[in-house]
Amino acid sequence: MVFLSVFEEGTRVQIDIPDEIDPDFEIYHGACGIIISVTEEGNNSVLYRVKLDSGEVQDSPWRNLQTTSK
């Protein structure tokens, strides 16, 4: 099955978690990094693996990412 990806590997992104009560908000909101892989999850959703500038790797759905030049 082919899935639609909003971002490609190598895209520089910033994590933008809109829900301030999300447990990851304080840790990851505003962090920047590069997408290192794109995988399909169940129900035709896509998950992006982002290597953050800190060196940490974070998996995130497209709705929590935006492109950035930071």
Dump pLDDT digits (tens) for 30-41: 999 999 999 887
Can you give the residue ranges of every domain in the chain? 12-67
Predicted confidence (pLDDT) per residue in 13-36, tens digit: 999 999 999 999 999 999 999 999
Q: What number does CATH give the domain 12-67?
A: 2.30.30
Q: What is the per-residue pLDDT for 1?
A: 46
SS3 content of the chain, % helix, strand, coil (to 5): 10, 45, 45
Q: Give the pLDDT band of residue 4 (cuts 50, 70, 90).
A: low
Task: At 21, give phi and psi (nearest 5°).
Answer: -90, -5
Rounded to whole angstroms, the Cα distance separating 17 from 36 reads 19
pLDDT at 2 over 60: no
Q: Residue 70: which H helix or E strand, with range?
A: none
